[in-house]
Structure 1
């Protein structure tokens, strides 16, 4: 069997000019494969709404990273992150005309943090890792792990004391275990009751994804 040729990859900070490429990658590879979004049947329209409300502001924080194939300059992976000191907490449950799927996702985030992120983490100087996505044909090359390593360095340089991630995927949980995150709250998908509908909306999340975890790491000074 011939081994897959490993492509040369470069990494750089993302900015608002990258928004179209980021949105395209999320539509094609993230909402179709990430356990929560795929189970809740997120659509391109939901991503467009998030782009207007959320993604642009995230890129403006200047701590998100993209991985690019050197030969084609194709965006092959992203680690979107935001700065806690700049984040405006959005309570989707109190907003009219917000799609129910965004309300459900917002309710789950609030449930895991037990309220605001700053109160949970004990500081506003945190980096919240929002989206990790890699094109499947580039999987198994260590790109996601490298994105996490670089994200920790960038977060520390930005003055962050902690990093947090809502690890919805089995594979993400493996990565953050490697980086010694504390799992401060873990919920089995099959047992989670959505407060919006009263239903167990994630009971059909496919294997190997069993739990969703809130991971928190104290960022040591270098």
Structure 2
């Protein structure tokens, strides 16, 4: 397998292609740091972009929802869809309004979706999703009952095309704007976990191990 995803009309980066990458390792690193993705698909009546938790296993993305969730069915009907994630790294304040920007790492991917029906794979997918919230969490909690698995729809998306786009650094101002007296630079941003807030019966129990990227 090539370490570079093939470009497609949906994933080819046209604006600032120098910021783009089709490298699998780059794409995977961004996916693995993000906790939320957005699914863009058509339900037949509406086009929606739905935020949801996800987990990656190799070249497979798992998402889940209630068995009655019709929005997820938009992935299975054969209509085009895409999945995106964005990590916001900073606000870029320039000397002109026009050149204000943001630093970010993002991924756009497309692929083939299938309904996960096998109980073993569905259970493994749910374990991945739980462990994304806190490392090893699935070993500390009760396993799903059969009826809970039956009430949950799990969809696997096999990645076929993907691209990453990354902006970093400071503002790119025009030479004539360098004389402007306003402050210019970057306000760094990152998502971090605050102190855990235990339930009343958990105050003396070990706190969970939050994902490394949130520390």
- TM score, norm. by length of structure 1: 0.25
User: Hey, which of these two has a bigger chunk of helix by percent?
Assistant: 1
* Structure having the higher Rg: 2
1 or 2 for the larger relative contact order (CA 8 Å, sep ≥6)? 2
TM-score normalised to structure 2 length: 0.26
